[in-house]
Amino acid sequence: MGASATFSMQIAAARPCISNSTRVSTSKIAPLARASFWGSYHAIASPKLVSSRSPVTVSTGKFITRAMSQDTASTGSNGLPIDLRGKRAFIAGIADDNGYGWAIAKALAAAGAEILVGTWVPALNIFETSLRRGKFDESRKLPNGSLMEITKVYPLDAVFDSPEDVPEDIKTNKRYAGSSNWTVKEVAELVKNDFGTIDILVHSLANGPEVSKPLLETSRKGYLAAISASSYSFVSLLQHFLPIMNPGGATLSLTYIASERTIPGYGGGMSSAKAALESDTRVLAFEAGRKGNIRVNTISAGPLGSRAAKAIGFIEKMIDYSYANAPIKKELSADEVGNAAAFLVSPLASAVTGSVVYVDNGLHTMGLAIDSPTLAL
C-alpha cells in the first residue's frame, strides 16, 4: 500500500504526514496530484479547519454545528449544541483540505475538540510545507474569522501494524526517508506518550491499487491490498488505540454504497472492502462497546469530486447521477458529512452504535434511475 495509488469511492484526501514531533497551527493541506492511500472515493469538497478552542458556528445550508462558549454553556442556548470541548480526536487520513477527513476535522474542531492527525508518510513533506506556508489558511477560516488548529500531525501508514511488518523495499523507499515510528502500533504509542488519551478515533482512508479493474480481472494481491488498506486498517487502528480511549468515546469510518449495490467501475475489491468495513462496524460495536464503552459507527457518503476521486475517472458522472436521481436534488457538501460525523461522535448520539449512517441526499433509497431514457418511452 505504501507506493500504490489510493482509491476508494470515498476519496478523501491524499496522504500527507508530519514528523512525530511536528506541531501544527497553520493547517491547510496542499492538494496532491494523485490519489493516495488516504484518499477515499468519498472525500471531496473542501472543509476548513477551525480553532479547536474557539466558540464557532459552522453553517452549511440548513446544517449547523455550534460550539458554545463558556458563557453560553452556563446561561443556556436557543439551540441544541454539539459540545466536544475537552475532547481529543485522532483523525487518520487527512492530506489536503478538500476531503471528508478534513471536513470532519473542521466540524469536530468547531464543536471544541482538539485535533490530532495521522497522514500518509510519502505525503508528509507536501502537507507539512503547505501548512507551514499558509496555503490552506483560507479553508481553515471559521465563520468567526479564527482559524482551526491541528495540534499535531503524525506520519502514518495504516497498512503496517508494527515495524516487523514493514518490508525492506518500503524501509528503503526514499519517500519514507526522514520519517520514523509511523506504523499503527508506534503511532498509538506516540499519541499515548504525548497526550495520554483520546476520545474520538476517525478512519478516513482507503486504497485499491486495482480499483479500475473489474472484479473478474482483479488479482489476489490487488484484492487483498484493498481489504488490508480499506477495512482491516480500521480494525488495526481501533485495536491499538482502544487502550488509550476514554470510556464513552466514539469511533467513525467512511464507507460507500458499493458495499451493497453494484457500481460498475468501482472494482479491484473495493466494493468487498467496503462491505467488510460495514460488517466489522457491527462486530466492533459489540466488542469495543463491551470492552471499553466505545461506540463504533460508519458514514456512507455520496459521491463528491476530489483529486483522489477524479483519479478513478468517472466521479463527475457519479455526481451528476446523484443530482438527477437522489430524493434531495442538490450536490452533496463535504461539510454535511462533517456535521453528521460531529453528531455521531458527540454525547447527543450516546445510544447510536453499530450503525451505517447514510449521508448522500437519500440516493441509497432509490431502486430506479428516474433519469433513465427507458422511462421516457
Distance, CA of 299 to CA of 138 (rounded, Å): 27
Helix (H) / strand (E) element for 154: namely strand 152-155
Catalytic-labelled residue, pool 154, 256, 323, 358 = 256
Q: Coil, strand, or helix at residue 137?
A: helix
Q: Is-contact 200 248, C-beta < 8 A? A: no
Return phi, psi of residue 44, to 5°: -175, -135
Q: Is 100 a catalytic residue?
A: no
Beta partners for residue 56, in sequence order? none
- The grid coordinates of residue 283 equal 462486530
SS3 of residue 207 by DSSP: coil
Amino acid at 295: R
Active site residue 266: yes
What gap in Å lies between CA 288 and CA 66, rounded to an integer?
A: 29
Contact 343, 111 (CB under 8 A): no
Q: Give the number of other CB atoms < 10 A from CB of residue 120.
A: 33
Which three cell numbers, joined as nine digits, stand for 43? 472525500
The residues near 319 (Cβ < 8 Å, ≥ 6 apart) are: 303, 304, 305, 331
| Residue of 124, 117, 64, 114 lying closest to 94 (CA atoms) | 117
- At a CB cut-off of 8 Å and minimum separation 6, what does 40 contact? 6, 8, 9, 10, 11, 12, 93, 99, 100, 204, 205, 206, 230, 254, 256, 308
Number of neighbours of residue 167 by Cβ within 10 angstroms: 10
Candidate list 154, 223, 232, 266, residue with the active-site label: 266
What is the set of active-site residues?
256, 266
